[in-house]
């Protein structure tokens, strides 16, 4: 490890940023240095701008673009103590897209297609609790509180603890899973029992199960999280409760699910339906008669008709 990389890692740790953020920032800076074949210490604003423009030309997502920009901002402002022209190296505006949500029938088909008991326990936990993939793999046996029927999520995104509900059906499944696999510390250990399973594993399992279930939608752990929140909203759960369960800092983030809830969409009447019957009768009578589409109307014009 180079001295600069160690200094940046120390700065990241002193600010208590999550291991995932530390890894992402260090990886972004390493790729920046590889792009120019030089140490970032001898690079400056022109190279940063050139690199960010190159990322846009390569078609990377705007989320990744902003992550790289933040990593370079941290390196130069915090670790190297240099000025950062905020007006020249701004964050990109990310497009707002609605999340993919599965119907209840699709969830049933998806979970029914899981053959491995451990995989079924992992995917069912994702849907039943709305956890992120990183939060799922970080669960310990001691986090399952069957007396209070809750699951404790320790140090989720934003370094925050929270509780989510423990479904009786999920508890029965987790007990069956425990009796077969006997995990000791981590609820879902990896090949090395001393470490939890890699957070990329649930992503791979979701993709494989979705293909087996013949689902046309792309299914990821976050798809199950979106589905959890949307189904709660459709069943009448208060949006602030959903916010607490998801661990969202802002209610505006949770409010996104009001745009994908079918209960909200289908339960809202069109203003056309609110017009009185008399008005609808007037509209119908005011509609001009349309000539029938006879074969003659479909024929091309004659030569005389197109001659000026």
Domains of the chain: residue spans and CATH: 3-79 (1.10.150.130), 104-263 (1.10.443.10)
Can you give the pLDDT at residue 305? 44
CA 259 to chain centroid: 15
Evaluate if pTM is beyond 0.75: no
Can you give the pLDDT at residue 95? 76
Can you give the pLDDT at residue 67? 93
Q: Which of 177, 180, 148 minimizes the C-alpha distance to 165?
A: 148
Any idea which residues carry the catalytic annotation? 132, 157, 222, 225, 248, 257
Q: Show the DSSP H helices in the chain as ranges.
A: 3-14, 19-36, 45-58, 62-74, 104-112, 117-129, 133-137, 168-181, 201-212, 221-234, 239-246, 251-254, 262-266, 277-286, 303-306
CA distance 269 to 101: 23
Neighbouring-strand partners of residue 160: 156
Do 254 and 229 touch, CB atoms closer than 8 A? Answer: yes
Can you give the pLDDT at residue 283? 60
Can you give the pLDDT at residue 307? 42
The string of pLDDT tens digits covering residues 108-117 is: 999 999 999 9
CA distance 298 to 263: 44
Can you give the pLDDT at residue 288? 59
Can you give the pLDDT at residue 297? 44
The string of pLDDT tens digits covering residues 242-284 is: 989 998 888 877 877 777 776 666 666 777 676 765 565 666 6
CA distance 174 to 157: 24
Mean pLDDT, consecutive 10-residue stretches, the chain (308 aa), reads 91 89 94 94 91 92 91 93 78 81 94 95 95 94 94 81 93 95 93 90 96 95 94 88 88 77 68 65 60 51 45
* HSE-up (13 A, CA, CB side) for residue 283: 8
CA distance 255 to 260: 10
State both tokens at 147.
């007396």
The three-class DSSP label of residue 191 is coil
State both tokens at 246.
């998801």
């Amino acid at each position: 490890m180079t001295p600069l990389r160690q200094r940046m890692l120390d700065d990241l740790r002193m600010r208590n940023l999550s291991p995932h953020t530390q890894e992402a920032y260090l990886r972004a800076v390493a790729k920046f240095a590889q792009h120019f074949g030089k140490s970032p210490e001898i690079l400056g604003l022109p190279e940063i701008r050139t690199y960010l423009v190159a990322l846009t030309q390569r078609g990377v997502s705007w989320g990744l673009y902003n992550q790289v920009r933040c990593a370079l901002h941290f390196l130069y402002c915090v670790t190297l103590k240099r000025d950062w022209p905020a007006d020249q190296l701004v964050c990109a505006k990310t497009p707002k897209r609605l999340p993919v949500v599965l119907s209840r029938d699709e969830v049933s088909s998806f979970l029914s297609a899981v053959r491995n008991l451990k995989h079924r326990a992992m995917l069912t936990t994702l849907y039943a609790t709305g956890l992120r993939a990183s939060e799922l793999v970080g669960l310990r046996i001691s986090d399952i509180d069957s007396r209070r029927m809750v699951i404790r999520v320790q140090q989720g995104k934003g370094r925050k603890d929270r509780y989510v509900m423990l479904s009786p059906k999920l508890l029965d499944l987790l007990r069956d899973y425990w009796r077969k696999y006997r995990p000791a510390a981590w609820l879902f250990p990896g090949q090395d029992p001393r470490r939890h399973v890699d957070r990329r594993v649930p992503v791979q399992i979701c993709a494989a199960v979705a293909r087996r279930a013949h689902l046309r939608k792309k299914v990821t752990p976050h798809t199950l999280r979106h589905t959890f929140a949307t189904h709660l909203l459709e069943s009448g759960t208060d949006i602030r409760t959903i916010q607490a369960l998801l661990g969202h800092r802002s209610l505006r983030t949770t409010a996104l699910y009001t745009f994908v809830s079918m209960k909200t969409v289908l339960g809202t009447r069109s203003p056309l339906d609110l017009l009185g019957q008399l008005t609808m009768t007037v509209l119908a009578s005011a509609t001009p008669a349309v000539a029938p589409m006879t074969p003659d109307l479909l024929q091309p014009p004659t030569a005389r008709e197109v001659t000026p």
